[in-house]
Structure formats: C-alpha cells, structure tokens
Amino acid sequence: MQSSSNNVVNCNELSESEKHYMEIAFTYAQDALRNQEVPVGCIFVYNNEIVAKGRNTVNETRNATRHAEMNCIDDVIAYCEDRNIVSKEVFENVSVYVTVEPCIMCAAALYNLKIKQILFGCRNDRFGGQTVFDVANVLNPVTDVKGGYRADEAMALLKEFYKGTNPSAPPNKVKIKNI
Amino acid sequence: MIPSKKRKLDSETDDYISDCIKAVLPDDLSKDTPLVEVYVDEVSDRRNISKAVVAINSAFPVQELLHLKRVRNGKLLLFPKSVCELSEVHQFLMKKGFDTSLLTNNVEVALVAKLPPKLKNQYEKVNKLWPCNFHSNKYLERLVTNNLFDENEMQLHKICMKIAIDVAQYAGNKYNSKNVGAIVFDPKLKSVVAIGYDCTNKNPCKHATMVAIDNVAVTQNGGAWDKREEVIVNGLNTSGLPKDFEFLKDKYAKTISFGCRLSDHTDNKCRVSEESSYLCTNYYAYVTHEPCVMCAMALVHSRISRVFFGVKSRIGGLCTLCKTQTIKDLNHHYEVFCGLLEQECINL
C-alpha cells in the first residue's frame, strides 16, 4: 500500500456542502446495488453545480470500463456540448465526489483531464489508483486527492454486492463459495 | 525475426530492419534474480554434513529460501542475515536447539538467490553463488528470446497490425483525428471482432483502445458509446465493426474473417453457452501506438489475453511509464509485444 496515510481526510475538514455532495454520490452507489452493479456512485461538481452524476454500468453495458467516473466524464462532455463551452476548462475546475477510490484506469483518466480535486470514500483494494498502483507516481497530476470519508459505509456496500455473484460472469467463471 | 526486404536503415548499418516483435517482459523475467544476504558456517567434520543438514532443517527451516540447497563445499546455509547480528548467530542457533558443535564458528555472510530463478540464464548466474533448484519453463524461454511465434503466426500478426494501421489512416482522414487505430481479434476464429479509432477531438477519453473495447461490448449486446444492430455475415456477428469500415472486409477477406462468434443473448440475464464471449477474454488487441495507462488498465478490466503494439508512446502504460499488465496485485495479467510493423506505425 502506498501513500495510504498521508491523504486521509478528517471529517471536520469537510464543509457541509462537500458532505452533501458525498451524500448524493452515495445515493448513486445504492442505486447501482439495486441494479446488480458494483456499488460505486460519483458526482462531478463545477462552480457549485452538479454537472455529472453516475454509477457503475459495467453489467448493463457489458463493458468493464464503464465505471461511475467514466460515465460522469461522458456527462460533462454532453453538458459542454449543450452549452457550447469548452470541456477542458470545465474539467480543470471540477471536484469529483466518489464513494470508492478511483481505479487505476479512472485515476489516469481524471489526472489526464487535470481534474481539480477528488474526494473518495473507501479505498479500492483490488484496483485502486493509489492503493494497488500509485498512478500519481507516473503521471505527476495536478489533482488533489483525499479519501476516507464514510469509508465504512462505502465498503459495506461493496461487501453487500460481493456477497452475491456477478450476474454477467460466464458459468465456468463463477466461483463456488465455501459456506 | 523475419527480415523485411523493403526497408533499410538509413545509416549505421546495412542490416535489414527486421520486423522483430519483442515481448515486454515483467521485471522478474527481464532482470537478474534478486539476491539476499545469508549467514553460512563451515561444518567442522565433513562426515557430519548430512547430520548437520538434517539438524539445521529441523531447527531452522527457511520457508522463503526452499529453492536453495542447504550445503555447499562443506558450508551450511544457516538463515537470512536480517534475523540477527553476526556475533549472535551461534547463540541464536543454540536457542533453536541446534548443536553448534557441528560447526567451526567461522560465520560468514554469503549472497544467494532471494527467489527461485525463472530462466536458464538467471539460474546460471545465481547457481554460481549458491546451488539452487531450477525447473526450466520452455514457454518462458521462447518468450524471452522472442521465439514464440513461427513464420505463419508472424504473418497473421502483421496482417492484424496492418488492419489497425488502415483503421488509423482512414479514420484520421475522415474524422480529422489522430492517426491511432486498434483492433480486437479472436485468434481461434482468426477474425476481427471489433475496431476502434481515436475520437479524442470529441471526447478526451475516446482513445482508439477504449473505442475498440466498447465495440466489443456492442457485439455482446452492450456498448455505451455506439449502438448497432446485430448484423450477421457468414455466420459471424459483425456489429463490432462500424459500417464505414466495410472496405476492410474486401481488402482482407481472403486471409481472415470479420465478426465474432454468435452467442446466446436471447435470454439477457443468463449466458447458457460456455462458448459465448465474456468481455475480451481470449482476444488479442493490436494497437498502432502503445496504449496509455488508462487504456492499459481498461484492457486489464476487459480481460484481454495479449496486446500487440507498433510504436512506443510518451504516455504509454505498457512499457514506457509503467508496465500496467504486470502489476502483481491485479486479478488479471496479459502479455505484451511491441515493435510490430513499428516503422509503418511511426509513419502514421
């Protein structure tokens, strides 16, 4: 585990609006769980406006890259197209609120977009862009990353999901659990 | 591997540029076996060597060094140096119930293989330091010497990369985007399942690889960016191939197919057939340029089995900045080969 202790957010450091945004992200994670998707929820906030909200849609799209963050990035593109504004400027002033630490892919995507800041809930022990492999070491991002807010709740949602089996896995790949 | 007749190096040498593809190796194959310091001591009476080996194995079995022989030239391997100070070695052995009178008490530090060597050349180096067990793996030896593919296989790899290059050129011209192309290929069927090209002028995440992955999803009744109806041609589902790219079929149909195996999607919730595809499992990706970290991890999530690319990239995540495919803690790893039609990819 790398850089796991130096960016843990203290609950008191968060403003009421940041806590509110995180609460909204959690509602999307819960929505994912209800739809048999890995429960990760995410919103993007730009100038105090929620410009993207989403959850994991991997099973629905049969595309393993459709994580909550990637869906939100597409939302921002659509938001900018509608308003005829340049997405680059928007991304660089976006705060990302996500219930689980972005994976290596999402971390790289968000760093490349020069996202202003990321606040996440629990660590991602399987794919985390800090925990499993620290993407910041190779991409030198400008993004400020903090995590640990409501981590237990975010983790409980994941555990709830992994108690069931992945509905999209082929029959020969489904693990048989020892009970 | 196979010399090209067309191109010569500009300077340096008259050698033909070989269309050599190189395996991008994980560190444990590309580097020497790591070493570790251990304490050794001489057995005072050579007739007691086997007795000493049995005694030390029961008093102090070293689980992490089981690949090493316990004795060499009358010297006994005791334990890693990290356990205690040199002056305390015998005291430590006594505490563990080892009869130290078997040794001369001339404790020395020796460098030995920390891990079992994986390749013959690694083995030869560490075996000189301290005798070591080794099981040769023919596949790995062929992989590291770039002798994995025969001539026919190389020919097929080149055709696949040529298609990726055609995709890059066509899309680059038509959509005024970067000349980067990707295809996903089913090596069992010898068929192009999906293609992808750079669309970053529309969406910064729409790298060719990401688009190709989403087009694979389209063949499985999914997809986030493009939705296309299932089109069945010659018994294969060609929905992973946008209509614009019909010309590829005419150009390459003699050698390979286009489309993926039909799968049971009639019942969306249950995949009955074991043959039906799941993400990019058992597929190869051919990409003109080294995929970035995002795309490299997208290929991990998608369970691709091999990735071939032409030219390295400044932002590459397979060998330039890091080797995403070799990160130990991830649940899936794939093989990577670079330098396939490199010059043609550089010229894009």
Instruction: Name every chain B residue with its beta carbon within 8 A of the beta carbon of A139.
Output: 293, 321
Instruction: State the average pLDDT for chain B.
Output: 89
Pick the residue of A35, A61, A62 with the most B CBs within 10 A to test the interface with B by mutation: A62
pLDDT tens by residue, A136-178: 999 999 999 999 999 999 999 999 998 876 555 555 555 544 4
- Answer whether residue B284 shows pLDDT above 90: yes
Beta strands in chain A (DSSP E): 41-46, 49-55, 94-100, 117-122, 144-147
Assess B327–A contact: CB distance below 8 Å, yes or no.
yes
Decide if A23 is catalytic.
Answer: no
Test B301 with A105 for CB contact under 8 angstroms: yes
Assess B302–A contact: CB distance below 8 Å, yes or no.
yes
pLDDT value of position B267: 43
Please state the rounded mean pLDDT for residues B180-199: 96
pLDDT value of position B14: 35
In the structure, what pLDDT confidence band is assigned to residue B20 with cuts at 50, 70 and 90? confident
Q: What does each C-alpha distance from B338 to A134, B157, B162, B196, B319 come to in angstroms? A: 24, 11, 14, 19, 9
Please state the rounded mean pLDDT for residues B321-340: 96
Q: Kindly calculate the radius of gyration of chain A based on its CA atoms and give it in whole angstroms.
A: 16
Regions of chain A with pLDDT less than 50: 1-5, 176-179
pLDDT value of position A8: 73
- Enter the tokens of residue A67: 């994580």
Q: Which of A61, A104, A173 sits opposite B293 (nearest CB)?
A: A104
pLDDT value of position B285: 98
Test A172 with B276 for CB contact under 8 angstroms: no
pLDDT tens by residue, B26-55: 999 999 999 999 999 999 999 999 999 999
* Beta bridge partners of residue B42, listed in sequence order: B75
pLDDT value of position A168: 59
In the structure, what pLDDT confidence band is assigned to residue B195 with cuts at 50, 70 and 90? very high
Test A63 with B214 for CB contact under 8 angstroms: yes
pLDDT value of position B19: 60
- Torsion-angle region of residue B338: left (phi > 0), alpha (psi -120 to 50) or beta? beta
Say what angle helices A104-112 and B293-301 make with each other, to 10 degrees: 150
Test B210 with A66 for CB contact under 8 angstroms: no
Within 50-69 of A, beta carbons closer than 8 Å to B belong to 57, 60-66
Instruction: Name every chain B residue with its beta carbon within 8 A of the beta carbon of A173.
Output: 278
pLDDT value of position B276: 63
Q: Please, which residues have CB within 8 angstroms of residue A163's CB and are 6 or more apart in sequence? A: none
ipTM of the shown complex: 0.90
pLDDT value of position A85: 94
Q: Please, which residues have CB within 8 angstroms of residue A66's CB and are 6 or more apart in sequence? A: A56, A57, A58, A60, B224
pLDDT value of position A169: 58
Integer Cα distance of A61 and B268 in angstroms:
12
Pick the residue of B199, B274, B301, B323 with the most A CBs within 10 A to test the interface with A by mutation: B301
Q: Which of A62, A108, A113 sits opposite B220 (nearest CB)?
A: A62
pLDDT tens by residue, B235-255: 899 999 998 898 999 899 889
State percent of chain B over pLDDT 90.
80
- Answer whether residue B8 shows pLDDT above 50: no
pLDDT value of position B231: 85
- Answer whether residue B191 shows pLDDT above 50: yes
CA distance between the termini of chain A = 30
- Tell me which H or E stretch contains B35: strand B35-42
Assess B298–A contact: CB distance below 8 Å, yes or no.
yes
pLDDT value of position A136: 97
